[in-house]
Amino acid sequence: MISLLEARKNVPLIVKSISRGEMGMRGIGGRGRGGGGGGGRRNWCRRFSNMGIREGVIIKKISMHPFFGPVIVRVGNCEIAVGRGMASTILVEEVNE
């Protein structure tokens, strides 16, 4: 199990879990606070899930923008831009086809 940030691009990845750890909570700016869209981890888990990112789903990492830019993820037929902090909490494994 690796974080989405470390995963290879353009290969099918299965979402294993959304990390409970503190990584990514630091997010950006704001005296070390921020990240998470103004509402704690549970909330952010649900936002992932609403967009189709949840355990057992196959996703693809399309690109990762440099200098701590967002990660572009393909889920089903749509693409989602996820900030790095949030993306680091998505734990995935490569799927062997």
Partner 1 sequence: MKRILLFGNPNVGKSAIFTRLTGVRVVASNYPGTTVEYLRGKTRIDKKDIEVIDVPGTYSLYPDSPAEKVAKKIIDDSNPKETVIVNVIDSTNLERNLNLTLQLLSTKFPVMVLLNFWDETKHKGITIDSNNLSKLLKVPVIPTVAITGYGIQELRERLSEAKPSGFKIKEKDTWNFVGKIIKKVQVIEHHHHTFLQVLEEISTHPVMGIFFAGIVLLLSFAIIRLIGEGLIGFVFAPIFENLWAPVLLKLSAFLGNANILHKILIGELIEGKIDFYQSFGLLSTGFFIPIAAVLPYIISFYFVLSILEDTGYLPRLAVLMDRLMHQIGIHGMGIVPMFLAFGCNVPGVLATRIMETRRERLIAATVMSISIPCMAQTAMIFGLLGKYGFKGIAPVFLTLFLVWILIGKIMARYVSGESPEIFTEIPPYRVPHFQVLLKKVWLRVGWFLKEALPFVLIGILLVNLFYIFGFINFVSRIFGGLLTNILGIPAEAIAALFIGFLRKDVAIGMLAPLGLSMGQLITASVVLTMYFPCVATFVVLFKELGFWDTLKSSAIMISSAVFVGWILNLIY
Q: Using CB under 8 A as the criterion, which residues of the chain lie in contact with partner 1 when the complex forms?
A: 27-31, 33-39, 43, 46-47, 49-52, 54, 62-70, 72, 75-86
Q: Return d(Cα 38, Cα 54) in angstroms, integer.
A: 20
At its nearest, how many Å lie between partner 1 and the CB of residue 71? 10
Strand pairing of 2-3 and 58-64?
unpaired
Give the total residue count for the chain. 97
Least CB distance to partner 1 at residue 5 (A):
13
Q: Please tell me the distance from the alpha carbon of residue 13 to that of residue 93, in angstroms, as a whole number.
A: 5
Give the C-alpha distances (Å, rounded to integers) separating 58 from 29, 36, 94: 31, 23, 9
In degrees and rounded to multiples of 5, residue 47 shows phi and psi of: -60, -40
Whole-number minimum distance, CB 20 to partner 1, in Å? 17
The residue among 20 and 66 lying less far from partner 1, judged by its C-beta, is 66
Q: How far is the CB of 38 from partner 1 (least distance, A)?
A: 5
